[in-house]
Structure 1
């Protein structure tokens, strides 16, 4: 049997990019991530794959039903699987320790096929720069690509995949991107940059991103234009939510709900529904009476007029924010009759105003599970908290920062073909 292609996952987050590569047949060597909650999420996901591959998936189902604890789930899982998730920030002070752990995980592997991942995007984000007094010029995250290059130098992968926000192209008037290309070339890699949108890969979300693919300069891969890869998708966003239990604000249970009805075919084709009748993390936030009134106005405006709510059009008694000159769309419905939603970002962890459920009878913001579906995460993907399970803020943050697995899966299949051509 041919060995699976392998990869090292840097700035891994909750593992959305890794999920796509794992699904495409790649095998992870290590995941490196600084957020503790995201590390627990990846350990739980690695545990799921180990149990599934060895015929013990029922133990994972018991965890989703809340029949066993996280500690009991991890019990008897080989240490090297859990240790492959490295909880550490990437940087000069920690790289040597991380290298040591990755080297142990290599365990006889002579070649690294791929490095994937992208540094935190706030320093390149257009929104982040707009809110920063100095355009984030002093933000140390601007230079995390330098650390990425250190891993390229040490492990010499055949290729790498670097994902980031669209603002990378204009940050510093393009100087960061120029320095990045120069540095990667110095390490022995040529690169090509693609501007993509997750919705073109079948994700029901408008999410524009930059994908940089790098390869060793002694080879020239036949790269198709990722920006021209299109998936024929006629599914509307509302189909993502139809089979989930209806909730009012403040309702729901963290573990073990059942589906309400048969799922749309899209949910099966895109690996969101996966054959088990267990729904987790479908809990609605509580909201104030004022927010609920605004939500009703926003939904009614969209349903009846196909118009978005402008904050300044609200009755004055509902306008409590001092900033009246920007962010007019701070309350926004996830329209169920469109083929894609607005971008899911980490701010969803702070409030749900930008992600209002389209069903006015439920009158609430999205749950963790609904947001995860917009990002194309499978329903058996559980987002952990730090020291305990089920911390909603941590889950929303992980989802908002993630790469949609469905998009990652398409890119992984392409990389798989390119690497197999070289062997």
Structure 2
């Protein structure tokens, strides 16, 4: 099935669909760093298909520049990544670029979700106008223009849970109405990544739409209980202190765990560790981290800002925004990774008090279930932001698998009925 990926970010959603055999025709993404990540991922798949992964590995080892890597990739592959913001002014040009990529193919499925800041509860709480005048409230209309233009049989629309309550439900009501008007029936669920085997609690609204003349029902996703933990996810990664990094190369300390191997995070033949890089911290932050990890180890609870010793407090506000420091537990799963991790790591403290730091790029990527062979361009801040904004590929893959099964069943039934 041929897929267009809108508001693609670093490609977590399309990665999951690709792993299930869907053909990604195009990615549209406005952020230049994420667009380079998408191009580098396209390079990985092209070189893997042509048994030339040594070129990709040489890039990760910094023996090749990004331009030199891209020189090995056909232009038509790199052109699948369209680095543009989707606006009224740009959309026709984006259509032209996608049309040139289609080469007569039809589009079976559109996936993606507009930026979520206007819908998120946190975003609304920070804005005095509650995001009422934010144009991002209506980016879903651009998504619908792609539905109208390419007329896929199905689509998957992903967003934060706050979408349901934005403007007291008015935005979501408009979305449903306009999707129906475009010729689609829709249904939605609030799904949690932990129910798909991701070692992270991350709730998202997943809307699935289908053409009104297709007999289809929203797939049932059974909530399997998973027992894997952060310890299973991190066990083969070398220890680091704040500000340290491991150069790219064969630096894992053990073979892949059952969890990382079974979920395509680190396969048994991948030994090139990259982006295991911890940000530097002030000594005061490190003192706070030690205090928080100690309390977690002894009492299994998070420390509120107003509970810190006086010598560790940096300001006098002890009534609001108290949940500023959070330890990721070895014996459990992570709380939601968000884009704010690009600004500081206080909410993602490593559980090992000896390492005493926030998590690395690679650890954050693993919590999001990205494969270790996934490389995030172009710097540490950009990489953290991309990871925090992503859909976990493992969750996306299991959604894609179930969706594919239901589509195949519907198609078979339609053929039987027509006969």
Q: Tell me the TM-score normalized by structure 2.
A: 0.96
More displaced 10-residue stretch of structure 1: 403-412 or 307-316: 307-316
Query: Does the CA contact (< 8 Å) of 1:66 and 1:256 recur in 2?
Result: no
Partner Cα separation in structure 2 for residue 113 and residue 10 of structure 1: 14
Match of 2:354 in 1: 361
Match of 1:348 in 2: 341
RMSD (Å), alpha carbons: 1.1
1:308 Cα deviation from its structure 2 partner: 0.9
Query: What secondary structure, in the 3-state scheme, does the structure 2 residue paired with 1:260 have?
Result: coil
Match of 1:154 among 149, 158, 182: 149
Distance 1:407 1:417, change over 3 A: same
Match of 1:388 in 2: none
Query: What secondary structure, in the 3-state scheme, does the structure 1 residue paired with 2:323 have?
Result: coil
Query: What secondary structure, in the 3-state scheme, does the structure 2 residue paired with 1:180 have?
Result: helix
**1:227-306 pair list within 5 angstroms:** 229-253=222-246, 255-256=248-249, 258-274=251-267, 275-306=269-300
Partner Cα separation in structure 1 for residue 250 and residue 167 of structure 2: 48
Query: What secondary structure, in the 3-state scheme, does the structure 2 residue paired with 1:108 have?
Result: coil
What's the CA shift string for 1:50-79, capped at 9, x where partnerless? 111111122112222222221111113111
Query: What secondary structure, in the 3-state scheme, does the structure 1 residue paired with 2:139 have?
Result: helix
Partner Cα separation in structure 1 for residue 145 and residue 317 of structure 2: 43
1:9 aligns with 2:5: yes
Gaps of 5+ in 2: 413-419
Match of 2:407 among 394, 419, 422: 419
Match of 1:205 in 2: 200
Partner Cα separation in structure 2 for residue 254 and residue 11 of structure 1: 32
Query: Does the CA contact (< 8 Å) of 1:189 and 1:215 recur in 2?
Result: yes
1:224 Cα deviation from its structure 2 partner: 2.5
Query: Does the CA contact (< 8 Å) of 1:194 and 1:225 recur in 2?
Result: no
Match of 1:60 among 56, 61, 71: 56
Distance 1:82 1:293, change over 3 A: same
1:383 aligns with 2:379: no
Match of 2:416 in 1: none
1:119 aligns with 2:114: yes
Partner Cα separation in structure 2 for residue 187 and residue 307 of structure 1: 49
Gaps of 5+ in 1: 386-390
Match of 1:182 in 2: 177
Query: Does the CA contact (< 8 Å) of 1:347 and 1:400 recur in 2?
Result: yes
Query: What secondary structure, in the 3-state scheme, does the structure 2 residue paired with 1:294 have?
Result: helix
Match of 1:130 in 2: 125
Partner Cα separation in structure 2 for residue 322 and residue 67 of structure 1: 50
Query: Does the CA contact (< 8 Å) of 1:10 and 1:116 recur in 2?
Result: yes
Query: Does the CA contact (< 8 Å) of 1:21 and 1:409 recur in 2?
Result: yes
1:254 Cα deviation from its structure 2 partner: 5.2
Match of 1:216 in 2: 211
Partner Cα separation in structure 2 for residue 353 and residue 207 of structure 1: 18
The alignment covers a number of residue pairs equal to: 410
